[in-house]
Structure 1
Amino acid sequence: MSVSIVPFRPDHAAAWAALNEAWLAEGGFAVEGKDRKVIDDPQGAILDLGGQIFMAERDGIAIGCCALMAMDDGGYEVAKMTVSPAARGLGI
């Protein structure tokens, strides 16, 4: 098993959305407007504002994600961090 942490690319968009929507549903949370904005537009809501998104890939398949959202004070907030249930326990 080879896992790589890579910067978000446009071809990650579907996996980004699926991972985050699944995490919210698993936790019994509704997808709120603020979630929808970040899930539907990671480029505009995170990357264009100075943040970063990292995807965990195993054999080329996205199995996890984590965003660092730029804050007004110059720091970052960890957001949208999840790993698919099948990949949990692998140390990602």
Structure 2
Amino acid sequence: MKRVEVKKLAIGSVLKSAIYFYFIPIILMIFGLIVVTIILIAQDEAPGYVIIPAFLIGIVFYTGLYAGIIALVTLCYNWLAGKFGGLIVTIKDVDTEE
């Protein structure tokens, strides 16, 4: 087994991998949007037609906030890992026998 210390993370790489977790709440919000929109339109109320553009605007703000927080956390990790040391990961090569 080999021990490796992670001293720096690339912001782009962290954002790319965090996007997978981002889609879980987005999908749940889309299901909620569909249900609420159908109910409001069936009741012939005007908010049913306004909720879709409001949702799209909310998605833009949510995406910006999410990406900003992830980038900030990554920058903090890089700064602190340089001062105090990073995560230590143990790697086992499965191709070789021990």
Q: What TM-score does the superposition give when structure 2 sets the normalisation length? A: 0.30
Q: Which has the larger radius of gyration?
A: 2
Higher helix share: 2
More strand by share: 1
Q: TM-score, normalised by structure 1?
A: 0.32
Q: Which has the higher contact order (CA 8 A, sep 6+)?
A: 2
